């Protein structure tokens, strides 16, 4: 169990070969700040794909040392995204990161059959969250990619999050399939899906995790609330993964705990052969750095 993100980051081996971080359309001030902070920590070896002139301007203004840094000139952001994904396909990178390119253009080549990076039925966004008043870090999914996932997509989203948590050493993560309350209601699809996911995990149709649902948010993260409602299960008050019923719920929850509760997040896209860092333009440099560090913590080769 990890209490903080730094507890995870301490597991990164910096005495061997660094992870190669390929940044698509790297001419972005905030992205380069995070990239060079990770580079200075000895965690990654950056490969900057983008407008060389703009990258050099930012580096000169901010005092980044580009000596020894690989720069691949691609002035067009969309072409830079394709070039970056091709480099991953060709084995020239371990982590992919979005720079000054829109998300759809960044994701399109990842999903393309031409490059064959997709390894899951669904790409999904996973945020690993450190909160001052929760006893461990937890995962929240999916607040950025999948708008209104059906049951099949939720199964894939759960599997992606479980994959990440197991890579971080949590062998049997506890998943709370969130809903408005704990009862199954035929007119509330989220509760129906959550109940099915829970039963599928019990019957090992979804492996390597415990799933309970539907569960309201308070019962998933607050033990006394779960006990008060008589929820006798191991997930209540101790969830490792919060599965949101839709993108709105996860997005609002994510931003609420960041801006109102001082959460410290790190976010990655999973479902491809390598982790991808896709952060919001409004995310701080610290969140971007955390996300790079999280991606570097995951050994996809094992």
302 pLDDT higher than 60: no
Do 60 and 131 sit in the same domain of this protein? no
Rounded to whole angstroms, the Cα distance separating 116 from 114 reads 6
- For residue 248, how many other CB atoms are within 10 A of its CB? 12
Q: pTM to 2 decimals?
A: 0.94
Identify the CATH number of the domain in which residue 20 sits.
3.40.50.10950
Rounded to whole angstroms, the Cα distance separating 195 from 65 reads 53
Instruction: Give the per-residue pLDDT at 121.
Output: 81
Q: Mean pLDDT for the chain? A: 94
pLDDT category at 15 given cuts 50, 70, 90 is low
Contact 50, 82 (CB under 8 A): no
pLDDT category at 237 given cuts 50, 70, 90 is very high
Do 174 and 197 sit in the same domain of this protein? yes
Do 145 and 93 sit in the same domain of this protein? no
Q: What is the DSSP string of the chain?
A: --SSHHHHHTT---SSPPEEEEEET---HHHHHHHHHHHHTTSEEEEEEE-HHHHHHHHHHHT---TT-EEEE--SHHHHHHHHHHHHHTT--SEEEE-SS-HHHHHHHHH-TTTT-B-SSS-EEEEEEE-TTSSS-EEEE-SSS-SS--HHHHHHHHHHHHHHHHHTT-SS-EEEEE-SSSS--TT-HHHHHHHHHHHHHHTTSS-SSEEEEEE-HHHHH-HHHHHHTT--SSSTT--SEEE-SSHHHHHHHHHHHHHTT--EEEEEEESBSS-EE---TTS-HHHHHHHHHHHHH--TT-
Instruction: Give the per-residue pLDDT at 280.
Output: 83
pLDDT in tens, 168-218: 999 999 999 999 988 999 999 999 999 999 999 999 999 999 999 999 999
Classify 122 in phi/psi space as left (phi over 0), alpha (psi -120 to 50) or beta: beta
pLDDT in tens, 71-109: 999 999 999 999 999 999 999 999 999 999 999 999 999
Rounded to whole angstroms, the Cα distance separating 65 from 166 reads 36
Do 251 and 277 sit in the same domain of this protein? no
221 pLDDT higher than 80: yes
Do 104 and 215 sit in the same domain of this protein? no
Contact 4, 137 (CB under 8 A): yes
Token pair in block for residue 273: 């052969």
Rounded to whole angstroms, the Cα distance separating 101 from 281 reads 10
Do 289 and 232 sit in the same domain of this protein? no
First to last CA, the chain: 20
6-20, 67-81, 196-210, 239-253: segment of lowest average pLDDT: 6-20
Identify the CATH number of the domain in which residue 146 sits.
3.40.718.10
Q: What percent of the chain is modeled with pLDDT above 70?
A: 99
Do 206 and 280 sit in the same domain of this protein? no
Q: What percent of the chain is modeled with pLDDT above 90?
A: 87
The boundaries of the domain holding residue 137 are 124-259
- Whether 264 is covered by a domain: the verdict is no
- Whether 171 is covered by a domain: the verdict is yes
Do 133 and 250 sit in the same domain of this protein? yes
Instruction: Tell me the average pLDDT across 140-148.
Output: 95
Do 25 and 113 sit in the same domain of this protein? yes
Do 157 and 55 sit in the same domain of this protein? no
- Whether 234 is covered by a domain: the verdict is yes
Task: Calculate the dihedral angle through the C-alpha atoms of 98, 240, 202, 142, rounding to the nearest 10 degrees.
Answer: -30
Instruction: Give the per-residue pLDDT at 276.
Output: 96
264 pLDDT higher than 70: yes
pLDDT category at 51 given cuts 50, 70, 90 is very high
- Whether 30 is covered by a domain: the verdict is yes
Instruction: Give the per-residue pLDDT at 301.
Output: 67
Contact 206, 200 (CB under 8 A): yes
Instruction: Give the per-residue pLDDT at 166.
Output: 96
């Amino acid at each position: 169990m990890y209490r903080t993100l730094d507890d995870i980051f301490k597991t990164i081996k910096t005495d061997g070969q660094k992870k190669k971080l390929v940044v698509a359309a790297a001419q972005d001030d905030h992205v380069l700040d995070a990239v060079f902070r990770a580079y200075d920590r000895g965690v990654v070896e950056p490969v900057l794909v983008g407008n060389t002139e703009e990258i050099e301007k930012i580096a000169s203004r901010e005092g980044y040392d580009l000596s020894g840094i690989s720069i691949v000139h691609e002035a067009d952001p969309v072409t830079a995204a394709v070039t970056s994904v091709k480099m991953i396909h060709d084995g020239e990178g371990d982590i992919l990161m979005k720079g000054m390119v829109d998300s759809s253009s960044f994701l399109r080549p990842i999903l393309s059959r031409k490059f064959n990076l997709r390894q899951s039925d669904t790409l999904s966004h996973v945020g690993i969250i450190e909160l001052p008043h929760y006893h461990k870090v937890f995962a929240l999914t999916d607040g950025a990619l999948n708008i209104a996932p059906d049951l099949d997509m939720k199964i894939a989203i759960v599997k992606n999050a479980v994959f990440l948590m197991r890579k971080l050493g949590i062998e049997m993560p506890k998943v709370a399939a969130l809903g408005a309350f704990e009862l199954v209601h035929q007119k509330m699809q989220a509760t129906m899906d959550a109940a099915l996911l829970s039963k599928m995990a019990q019957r090992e149709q979804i492996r390597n995790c415990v799933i309970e649902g539907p569960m309201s948010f308070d019962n998933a993260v607050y033990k006394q609330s779960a006990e008060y409602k008589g929820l006798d299960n191991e997930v209540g008050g101790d969830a490792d993964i919060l599965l949101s019923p839709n993108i709105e719920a996860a997005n609002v929850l994510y931003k609420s705990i960041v801006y109102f509760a001082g959460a410290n997040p790190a976010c990655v896209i999973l479902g491809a052969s390598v982790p991808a860092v896709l952060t919001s333009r409004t995310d701080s440099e610290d969140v971007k750095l955390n996300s790079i560090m999280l991606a570097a913590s995951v050994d996809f080769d094992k």
